[in-house]
């Protein structure tokens, strides 16, 4: 008997306010090699409409230069089957082949509305939602005539990891194309450390395709996880990947992040926002958020970051960024929490 060895597949996690179309396209252009990008959640509503920025985020015309080397998977946030099916049809019409359901968002405003991680609180309601979704999805065809794939991104419980097994029993009953598990409970938000041992226990008993997500900050950490659950081939990277956008390349045996490519990535994101019509100040605010991740690569740069944050106009901002790259030591680092 020959055993097929599955290649590892790496994906960029959905991150609201960060991994939108401008960021995804810039990343794909400067650091090709990531197979999948998930959109930040699209907040579905009873009007069956999206916000303007959400429509833009999924417009097929805008995606990854259209070269077909990476897939974009839209994620939705809802607790209503009819809204989910509306989105699935709308996305199929736009050429997407997979839709991802968010059952992990820990934000209080989301959870109290029984969405995101709030769906993990009442398993009867969760099952009713999934029944409706999978009954309806059978009728939705993609452009290539296939059924739309449905994947889910979830946590290992609301309050305790003891909930994880029962939750998995529910998810396993449905034909998800993939179950992405972030092994933290809702009450941990994204704080402290993830619990790969909880994931390992689930991976050992689950017949479904699981994707691991949580604290994959370096190639070394990924190797540890790969050794811990060798049967897993799907890996999702969030904060570690924002910090080091060359992380997947290193895992694949490529070179470390270089200053020039980080600067190119930065410029593409900034220019992307401006081309989209974002006001200068708002574009700069977007970049300030990214600097909270990228600062780990710059040694002795506190003064430069202080100056950068004080900039009031774009020309000044661009000059300060050049100064930072020219005057400080660039040593690729890793995500160490938001400072
Ligand atoms: C700023 C921020 C925004 C996020 N937005 C989303 C989102 O829209 N949808 C989602 O499923 N998860 C979201 N997440 C969670 C990430 O996708 C990921 O699960 C989490 O960061 C853990 O992975 P990591 O340790 O690799 O960062 C967000 C996380 C952060 C920090």
pLDDT surpassing 70 at residue 122:
yes
- Write down the pLDDT at residue 213: 98
As to burial, measured by CB atoms within 10 angstroms (0-12 exposed, 13-18 middle, 19+ buried), residue 292 is middle
Q: How far is CA 31 from CA 21, 211, 286, in A?
A: 15, 22, 20
Predicted local confidence at residue 4, as pLDDT: 63
Ligand 1 nearest-atom number relative to CA 180: 19
> What integer pLDDT is reported at residue 334 of this predicted model?
96
For the chain, which residues make up each domain, given as ranges?
Answer: 9-251, 259-329
Instruction: Name which residue sits closest to atom 15 of ligand 1, judged by CA.
Output: 15
H helices of 139-238, in order, are: 164-172, 196-205, 219-228
Ligand 1 binding pocket includes 237 (Cβ within 6 Å): yes
Residue 298 CB–ligand 1 contact under 6 Å: no
Q: Are 77 and 43 in contact (CB under 8 A)?
A: yes
pTM: 0.97
Number of C-beta neighbours around residue 231 at 10 A: 9
Residue 282's pLDDT band (cuts 50, 70, 90): very high
Question: Going by DSSP bridges, is the β-strand pair 298-299/329-330 parallel, antiparallel, or unpaired?
Answer: antiparallel
For residue 221 and ligand 1, the question of a CB distance below 6 A is answered with no
**CATH class for the domain made up of 9-251:** alpha beta
At 130, the pLDDT band (50, 70, 90 cuts) reads very high
CA distances in angstroms from 309 to 95, 97, 173, 284, 313, listed in the order given:
40, 41, 50, 9, 11
């Amino acid at each position: 008997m020959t055993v097929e060895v599955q290649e590892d597949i790496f994906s960029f996690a959905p991150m609201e306010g960060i991994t939108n179309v401008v960021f995804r396209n810039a990343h794909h252009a400067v650091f090709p090699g990531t197979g999948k990008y998930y959109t930040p959640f699209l907040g579905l509503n009873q009007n069956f409409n999206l916000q303007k920025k959400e429509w833009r985020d999924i417009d097929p015309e805008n995606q990854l230069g259209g070269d077909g080397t990476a897939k974009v998977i839209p994620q939705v946030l809802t607790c209503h089957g009819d809204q989910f099916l509306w989105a699935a049809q709308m996305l199929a019409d736009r050429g997407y082949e997979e839709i991802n359901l968010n059952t992990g968002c820990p934000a209080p405003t989301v959870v109290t509305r029984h969405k995101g991680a709030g769906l993990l609180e009442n398993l009867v309601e969760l099952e009713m939602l999934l029944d409706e979704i999978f009954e309806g999805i059978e009728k939705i065809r993609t452009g290539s005539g296939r059924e739309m794939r449905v994947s889910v991104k979830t946590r290992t419980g609301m309050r305790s990891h003891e909930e994880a097994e029962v939750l998995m029993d529910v998810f396993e009953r449905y034909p998800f194309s993939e179950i992405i598990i972030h092994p933290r409970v809702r009450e941990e938000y994204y704080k402290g450390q993830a619990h790969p041992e909880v994931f390992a226990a689930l991976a050992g008993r689950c017949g479904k395709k699981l994707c691991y997500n949580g604290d994959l900050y370096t190639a070394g950490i990924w190797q540890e996880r790969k050794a811990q659950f060798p049967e897993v081939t799907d890996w999702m990277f969030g904060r570690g990947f924002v910090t080091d956008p060359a992380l997947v390349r290193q895992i694949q045996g490529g070179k470390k992040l270089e200053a020039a490519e980080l600067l190119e990535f930065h410029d593409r994101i900034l220019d992307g926002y401006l081309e989209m019509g974002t006001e200068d100040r708002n574009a700069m605010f977007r970049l300030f958020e990214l600097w909270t991740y990228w600062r780990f690569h710059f040694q002795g740069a506190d003064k430069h970051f202080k100056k950068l944050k004080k900039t009031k106009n774009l020309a000044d901002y661009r000059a300060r960024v050049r100064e930072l790259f020219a005057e400080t030591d660039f040593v690729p680092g890793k995500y160490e929490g938001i400072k």
